[in-house]
Structure 1
Amino acid sequence: MDETQYAFGPFVLLPGRELRRDGRPVALGPRALAMLETMAAARGEIVTKEEILSRVWPGVTVEEGNITVQVAALRKELGARPGGEDWIITVPRVGYRLVRDPSPNHAQSAEGGRPSVAVLPFVNLSGDASRDYFADGLVEDVITALSRFKSFAVVSRYSSFAYRNRATDIRQVARELGVRYLLEGSVRLSGDRVRVTVQLIDAASGTHLWASHFDGDLGQLFDFQDQITETVVGLVEPQIRRAEIERTRRRWPDNPQAYDHFLRALPLFVSREPADYLTAIGHLERAIALQPDYAAALAYASWGVARHGTVALVQLDEQQSARCLDLARAALRHGDDDPLVLALCSHSLLAIGHMRAEGLAMADRALAANPNNVLVQVLGGICNMLAGDLAKAETCYSRAYALSPGAPEAPESLAGRGFVRFFMRDFEGAVGWFERSLAMLVDWPPAYWMMTAAFAHLGRLDEAHTTLERLRAFAPHTSLAGVYAIANRSDGRFELVLDGLRKAGLT
């Protein structure tokens, strides 16, 4: 017996049987019921008129006007959603979409809940329809790559491609698809050259959050396609993250809901102030109290405890270490399919739990699951820099920066390259990377104490002393004991750092 049922708002649809509102049957004719079942089975995606005709009137030739009649009957019986909108949305010239549950606890629409994005078909500006395959293949690759992120939802290719060759207002498209962000682009081929232009739009305001173009050679068409996919995905995720943070600041400054607390915590993870991490942890603990299975909040809270120790240059006590690991284990119970959760927890297991093999294996899983996430790459670099393969660490840091040179993690990616060079005893090369990092972020302590140690090992003690004084000017709590508190997280590699800092005169 098929026990499938679909719930939306106050309704429960039992396929082949009936529709119930608040437990009471709703009178629907067999055609209307079949049509509602067809749309409900699509789970929020667009259903074309052709699909409706084949499912509701199988083997019978009828006019499209019959669909309109049945939709009108359904809308009358369903009534309006809490905001006054219809449950069934018309997608002009294409079909219909049944809105999924927009209640406060399960919102997936553009107005609340997890953010969502649609990648619209790229416009072929070449005047040659035979070139559509390149634009379509690029869109499919970008959709597939973005779908690896758990922090936002991506509309399927099927629904996105319903908007091919349609000049439609972006706000209308966003409403019909139920998304907050739209990614659109164009492809122009001229001779042996290809130009791809891409832009990310906040659909509510119509604001262009990011735009760029890429030029390539037809001779390496598919390599060029891979390059665009990696770059676009690497840049889109941080832009959506920033937009969501700003959005929650604008709309819900006092909202106690879990997602709001989570977003309030995120900007604090690039701070150099120890107190900011305590604030972030406080927000995340409140998010967890509201939603105990919130895997991302649990993972970030675990990382926040470890990160606070690094920025404050203090050894975590037994209680703090236990809390860090408990949070990581809880995050993994609820979200071990999320690459970012895996990456955050890999650091906690390795750096705080001293579980080297487990931490490195988990970092590898995260990298394999989503190689396009900047933070996953940075954390893969950190774990391998601390206790793993230095060449792999350098690759992770390099890819993180290449994916999004404007992301908040970019200075840390550059400094990470310096860490790796330092531990490979290429002190001159390390200094170069630290200088690049500090040009972007002038007050990040680890870059300073690593550069101080590098100068000392090069015998350039005057520069080591100058760098150390610059560090003390904004981080007076820096001490050899504090750096040692971080050193015991590594695989003995930080002894080289401590030795250099002693030579520079740090006590």
Structure 2
Amino acid sequence: MPFAFEDYVLDQERRELTQRGQVVAVGPQVFDLLLQLVSQHERVVSKDELLAAVWTGRIVSESTITSHINAVRKAIGDTGEEQRLVRTVARKGYRFVGQVRISDGVQALSAEPGPDAPGEAQQTAPAALVLPDKPSITVLPFQNLSGDPEQDYFADGIVEDIIGALSRIRWLFVIARNSSFTYKGRAVDVQGVGQALGVRYVLEGSVRKCGNKVRITGQLIDATSGTHIWAERFEGLLDSIFELQDQIAESVVGAIAPQLERAEIERAKRKPTDSLDAYDYYLRGTAKLHNGTREAIDQALLWFYKAIELDPEYASAYGMAAWCHFWRKINGWMSERSGEIAEGVRLARLAVELGRDDAVALTRGGHALAHLAGDVDSGIALLDRARLLNPNLAPAWFLGGILRALKGETDAAIDNLNHAVRLSPLDPEMFRMQVGMALAHFFAGRYETAAAWAEKAQGNLPSLLPAVALLAASHAHSGRMDKARLALQRLRALDPTLRLGNLQEWLPIQRAEDLARFAEGLRLAGLP
């Protein structure tokens, strides 16, 4: 029975791992280790179980297990730092957290709970993504040819800004950064990428940075046919980097739609800062922000502050810094709560004041304001403006969906979240969208569906406090008290200070009946 995940197939009978039909060379113990993790993906597999299954009970060193886990990750394009597919669970073992399906063309484990059996993964064939009715594109991570792996963040930042420039063109459908970047460091089949992401065009390229000189190459491919549309090289000095990015965006757009109005390109141009050093720190912070862990957020916040120090009018940096404070609050990581909340509000207000035409600043700053200042209506208005400025910005859709769920607009919230998933179908931060879905279904009274979404979010980021709280409350309302109490134990371990009396300080739930519903679920589960 072959197992499929992402673009890999693990065939137990043939003892073969393939990626898009090409065999991936792995040793026998690495294959057995991967098979154990994938076949038991619904739970954590302990080291003792792995020793018994892979090494037949022989005593091996801790470093041997670790080196084989690293080999598994390398074979499937994962890393110990990213842990996109194989997650280390401290003092417990390992868990395969990718979406697994049975590769027989008939049944698959769906990533979404179905309406007929909420709370359980339905077995249905994954639906192919239909091409949008307007030109659609994904920009793959560019290769870093600088010879220094530490410069990866710079090449990634170049691509993010190109994605941003293309996203602001209203008639383009642009896949979000996080889904594009799941292909980083992997040999790709462009036509397969187009099918997986549901787009017609793929842009790929490379970046070489040497001293103050930058060379960027790009090639645009029609993924439906594999035809190369154009390939160009762009060269300049580091202080002209934004002009080079604009040239690439213009070339892409001109190739896709030669009849494009010049005004549309001009509207898409935006120089975020005059300080290249501030821009450099912003790119470093953004690279960390997507991780979601406490350590990554702490580091990102320091770099955003450095960017702000170098350019006190850098709206996006203010928005990202404010959002780091929100993320610390929502996960119970604040050490000096009132002071940090006040600082987050200050940063968020500066972001939206300085960035009236900056979709990223409005998205992150508006969402942070809603949570830190409790002004959900203003937050929704700011995110709606961000979506007008950049209709392809996935965070504007899923963060807006979360705010609508908190306001009680559950149907609109689910629509927003589904649209975000279409913009970023392979997003490693899918946990944010999943917890939004859990919130919306919980307030709609669909507790089993809410629990299923909360479990998915928790599985992707175990430290995500709202997911654990929603899981406890959903199970309690459904009468599954054993599961509710287990979830509550984890909740109390993550944040011992959370109480029924401070729920609204933690989450700005707008409707009294929704707050009462949430509080009652947690009370039944045992929250003081």
| Structure 2 length-normalised TM | 0.49
In the alignment, the residues of structure 1 paired with residue 282 and residue 403 of structure 2 have an alpha-carbon distance, to the nearest angstrom, of 24
Which structure has more RCO (C-alpha within 8 Å, separation ≥ 6)? 2
Task: Indicate the residue corresponding to 1:288 in structure 2.
Answer: 308
* Deviation per residue, 1:200-259 (Å, 9 max, x gap): 99999xxxxxxxxxxxxxxxxxxxx9xxxxxxxxxxxxxxxxxxxxxxxxxxxxx99322
* Structure 2 CA distance for partners of 1:320 and 1:438, relative to 1, 3 Å: closer
SS in 1 for 2:331: helix
Contact 2:469-2:488 at 8 Å conserved across structures: yes
* Structure 2 CA distance for partners of 1:427 and 1:284, relative to 1, 3 Å: same
CA displacement at 1:441 relative to structure 2: 3.2
* Structure 2 CA distance for partners of 1:364 and 1:181, relative to 1, 3 Å: farther
Contact 1:148-1:369 at 8 Å conserved across structures: no
The correspondence for 2:499, drawn from 458, 473, 480, is 480
The correspondence for 2:525, drawn from 499, 504, 507, is 504
Task: Indicate the residue corresponding to 2:357 in structure 1.
Answer: 337
In the alignment, the residues of structure 2 paired with residue 381 and residue 286 of structure 1 have an alpha-carbon distance, to the nearest angstrom, of 31
CA displacement at 1:382 relative to structure 2: 2.0
CA displacement at 1:478 relative to structure 2: 5.8
* Structure 2 CA distance for partners of 1:196 and 1:351, relative to 1, 3 Å: farther
Contact 1:367-1:380 at 8 Å conserved across structures: no
Task: Indicate the residue corresponding to 1:12 in structure 2.
Answer: none
Q: How many residues get paired?
A: 306
* Structure 2 CA distance for partners of 1:183 and 1:323, relative to 1, 3 Å: farther
Which ranges of structure 1 fall in alignment gaps of 5 or more residues?
Answer: 1-109, 120-137, 150-168, 190-194, 205-224, 226-254
In the alignment, the residues of structure 1 paired with residue 160 and residue 171 of structure 2 have an alpha-carbon distance, to the nearest angstrom, of 9
Contact 2:215-2:233 at 8 Å conserved across structures: no
In the alignment, the residues of structure 2 paired with residue 117 and residue 313 of structure 1 have an alpha-carbon distance, to the nearest angstrom, of 28
Task: Indicate the residue corresponding to 2:372 in structure 1.
Answer: 352
In the alignment, the residues of structure 1 paired with residue 207 and residue 310 of structure 2 have an alpha-carbon distance, to the nearest angstrom, of 34
Q: Does 1:326 align with 2:346?
A: yes
C-alpha RMSD over aligned residues? 4.6
* Deviation per residue, 1:349-386 (Å, 9 max, x gap): 32222333322211211122222112111211122122
* Structure 2 CA distance for partners of 1:172 and 1:285, relative to 1, 3 Å: closer
In the alignment, the residues of structure 1 paired with residue 490 and residue 386 of structure 2 have an alpha-carbon distance, to the nearest angstrom, of 37
In the alignment, the residues of structure 2 paired with residue 296 and residue 140 of structure 1 have an alpha-carbon distance, to the nearest angstrom, of 15
* Structure 2 CA distance for partners of 1:366 and 1:466, relative to 1, 3 Å: same
| Structure 1 length-normalised TM | 0.51
The one-letter amino acid of 2:496's match is H
SS in 2 for 1:293: coil
Contact 2:281-2:306 at 8 Å conserved across structures: yes
Task: Indicate the residue corresponding to 1:115 in structure 2.
Answer: 158
Task: Indicate the residue corresponding to 2:97 in structure 1.
Answer: none
Task: Indicate the residue corresponding to 2:430 in structure 1.
Answer: 410
* Deviation per residue, 1:112-150 (Å, 9 max, x gap): 99726899xxxxxxxxxxxxxxxxxx999899556999x
SS in 1 for 2:302: helix
Q: Does 1:185 align with 2:228?
A: no
The one-letter amino acid of 2:445's match is R
* Structure 2 CA distance for partners of 1:505 and 1:117, relative to 1, 3 Å: closer
* Deviation per residue, 1:46-102 (Å, 9 max, x gap): xxxxxxxxxxxxxxxxxxxxxxxxxxxxxxxxxxxxxxxxxxxxxxxxxxxxxxxxx
* Structure 2 CA distance for partners of 1:287 and 1:202, relative to 1, 3 Å: farther
Task: Indicate the residue corresponding to 1:233 in structure 2.
Answer: none
* Structure 2 CA distance for partners of 1:290 and 1:112, relative to 1, 3 Å: farther
In the alignment, the residues of structure 2 paired with residue 265 and residue 325 of structure 1 have an alpha-carbon distance, to the nearest angstrom, of 19
Task: Indicate the residue corresponding to 1:240 in structure 2.
Answer: none
In the alignment, the residues of structure 2 paired with residue 350 and residue 324 of structure 1 have an alpha-carbon distance, to the nearest angstrom, of 11
SS in 2 for 1:182: strand
In the alignment, the residues of structure 2 paired with residue 379 and residue 395 of structure 1 have an alpha-carbon distance, to the nearest angstrom, of 12
Task: Indicate the residue corresponding to 2:390 in structure 1.
Answer: 370
Contact 2:438-2:449 at 8 Å conserved across structures: yes
Contact 2:468-2:487 at 8 Å conserved across structures: yes
In the alignment, the residues of structure 1 paired with residue 475 and residue 172 of structure 2 have an alpha-carbon distance, to the nearest angstrom, of 45
In the alignment, the residues of structure 2 paired with residue 284 and residue 368 of structure 1 have an alpha-carbon distance, to the nearest angstrom, of 25
In the alignment, the residues of structure 2 paired with residue 317 and residue 118 of structure 1 have an alpha-carbon distance, to the nearest angstrom, of 34
* Structure 2 CA distance for partners of 1:188 and 1:315, relative to 1, 3 Å: closer
- Percent same amino acid among aligned pairs? 25
SS in 2 for 1:115: helix
* Deviation per residue, 1:449-501 (Å, 9 max, x gap): 1011000011110111122234455x253632664531346444333222211
In the alignment, the residues of structure 2 paired with residue 202 and residue 469 of structure 1 have an alpha-carbon distance, to the nearest angstrom, of 56
SS in 2 for 1:305: helix
Output aligned runs, 1:6-17, within 5 Å: none
Output aligned runs, 1:457-496, within 5 Å: 457-472=477-492, 475=494, 477=496, 479-480=498-499, 483-488=503-508, 490-492=510-512, 493-496=514-517
Output aligned runs, 1:183-332, within 5 Å: 184-186=220-222, 257-270=277-290, 273-274=293-294, 276-312=296-332, 317-332=337-352
Task: Indicate the residue corresponding to 1:454 in structure 2.
Answer: 474
Q: Does 1:445 align with 2:465?
A: yes
Contact 1:380-1:396 at 8 Å conserved across structures: yes
> Rg larger in 1 or in 2?
1
* Structure 2 CA distance for partners of 1:179 and 1:445, relative to 1, 3 Å: farther
Task: Indicate the residue corresponding to 2:35 in structure 1.
Answer: none
Q: Does 1:421 align with 2:441?
A: yes
In the alignment, the residues of structure 2 paired with residue 352 and residue 202 of structure 1 have an alpha-carbon distance, to the nearest angstrom, of 45
CA displacement at 1:506 relative to structure 2: 2.0
Task: Indicate the residue corresponding to 1:391 in structure 2.
Answer: 411
SS in 2 for 1:408: coil
In the alignment, the residues of structure 1 paired with residue 209 and residue 299 of structure 2 have an alpha-carbon distance, to the nearest angstrom, of 35
In the alignment, the residues of structure 1 paired with residue 171 and residue 449 of structure 2 have an alpha-carbon distance, to the nearest angstrom, of 38
* Structure 2 CA distance for partners of 1:462 and 1:364, relative to 1, 3 Å: same
CA displacement at 1:173 relative to structure 2: 12
* Structure 2 CA distance for partners of 1:388 and 1:337, relative to 1, 3 Å: farther
Output aligned runs, 1:65-214, within 5 Å: 115=158, 144=172, 180=216, 182=218, 184-186=220-222
In the alignment, the residues of structure 2 paired with residue 412 and residue 429 of structure 1 have an alpha-carbon distance, to the nearest angstrom, of 16
Task: Indicate the residue corresponding to 1:103 in structure 2.
Answer: none
